[in-house]
Amino acid sequence: MRDPESVQPTYPLSGLRVLDTGASTACALTGRYLARLGVEGWSGLAGKHLDSSTLRARNPKLVVTTISPFGSLGPYQDFLGTELTVFAMGGHMYRSGMLGRPPIRMGGAPSEVLGSLLAAYATLVAVRAAARDGIGHLVDFSLFENQVTSHAQSMVEVSYLGEETGAHAPRIPNEGRRLVAKDGPVMFSVMEQQLPLLAELVGAPLELAKTRPGERAGSNSDLQRFVTEWVSSRTQKEVYEAGQAGHVPTSYTASPGDLIDSPQYRSRNFLRDMHHILVGNIKVPGLPFRWMQPEPPSLPAPSLGQDTRQLLMELVGLSSTEVSRLFKAGVI
């Protein structure tokens, strides 16, 4: 919830406050809050389950967004799902890991992170459409579908060619992961037409860059030996910068320390120093874009529920005694 008194128009998240009520009371308190504002048709919602159908029946202009593993339609609609479930069933795990070894899941929560971003985008589009047409929308977002659409090229191959071009070797060959510089792993992402550039970079004869029929690009063992020796005598940064200068797609496995020391991040003032009430002084990522106006202040995120008591009293109209009773009972 946003406090209108403290919002600065330039910074849309300024004045954001957070309450934590728990699922057992969230619906009832939301209905009571809307009724308190005098919003027509909401007074009877206190104590009821506020699903999307109930909300939109009360206000046809409302935009409601739901995010679930498989969406609200189809045979999987009631199935539970985790990051691992969606990553595997969405097809990404089939192409992850090393050839000849079990597939692996990407670290972190990529499906949830990407899903939340796209769901927010879809919601903004729905809000604009509702303001234009006077009709609300239900945005039914499926994390499963989100995963599939992020690597749709393989599905197009199967539907058009009858099989995936890499169906018998979907994951990267082991040699592609064995390149180790003096201080850590590096990788070349080279296509067939770039093999001559790679050979020139590592000092190999150009004839080794020729790919024989049925052979994977870069699988020539003689060329691989030149690449391995060249990489092992250099640092990650040296390999990366030389590869980029030679127009060879190159990357290296960066540690968190590498990210903090990155000259690119420093030049853009991407990492911000911040003091958090729970953990002290930390560096946090900033915005991955720039404004044509002054940068918004870097402030720590509010802790979950830090404003619960105040907001329940201000917005819902509960007394201090009532709020204390709810806390004591473990309801909130």
pLDDT tens-digit series, residues 232-259? 999 999 999 999 999 999 999 888 888 8
Give the model's pLDDT for residue 173. Answer: 45
Evaluated on CA atoms 45, 50, 56, 62, the torsion sign reads positive
For range 258-284, the mean pLDDT: 86
Do strands 63-68 and 137-142 pair parallel, antiparallel, or not at all (unpaired)? parallel
Q: Taking residues 280-290, what's their average pLDDT?
A: 83
pTM over 0.85? The answer is no
What pLDDT, on a 0 to 100 scale, did the predictor assign at position 203?
Answer: 94
Strands 250-252 and 280-285: unpaired
In contact, 123 and 65? CB cutoff 8 Å: yes
State residue 103's pLDDT score: 80
Q: Is the pLDDT of residue 49 over 90?
A: no
| Confidence bin at 169 (pLDDT 50/70/90) | very low
* 159 vs 69: which has the higher pLDDT: 69
Task: Output DSSP code: residue 106.
Answer: P
- Is 45's pLDDT higher than 80? no
Q: Quick one: pLDDT band at residue 149, thresholds 50, 70, 90?
A: confident
Largest CA distance in the chain: 83
Residue 222 confidence (pLDDT): 85
Asked if residue 175 has pLDDT above 60, the reply is: no
Report the chain's mean pLDDT, rounded to a whole number.
78
Class of domain 175-253: alpha beta
Helix or strand holding residue 64 (H, E): strand 63-68
Q: Which two tokens stand for residue 49?
A: 């389950």
What percent of the chain is predicted at pLDDT more than 90?
20
pLDDT of residue 229: 94
Which pLDDT band holds residue 46 (cuts at 50, 70, 90)?
very low
* Residue 181: how many other CB atoms lie within 10 Å: 20
- Tens-digit pLDDT profile for residues 176-228: 557 899 999 998 888 888 889 999 999 999 888 876 555 554 457 788 899 99
Question: Taking a C-beta distance cutoff of 8 angstroms, is the pair 59, 137 a contact?
Answer: no
Using CA atoms, how far apart are residues 293 and 330, in angstroms rounded to an integer?
A: 45
**First-residue to last-residue Cα distance in the chain:** 17
pLDDT computed for residue 50 by the predictor? 60
Q: Please give the pLDDT value at position 22.
A: 62
For the ranges 23-32, 34-43, 196-205, which has the lowest average pLDDT? Answer: 34-43
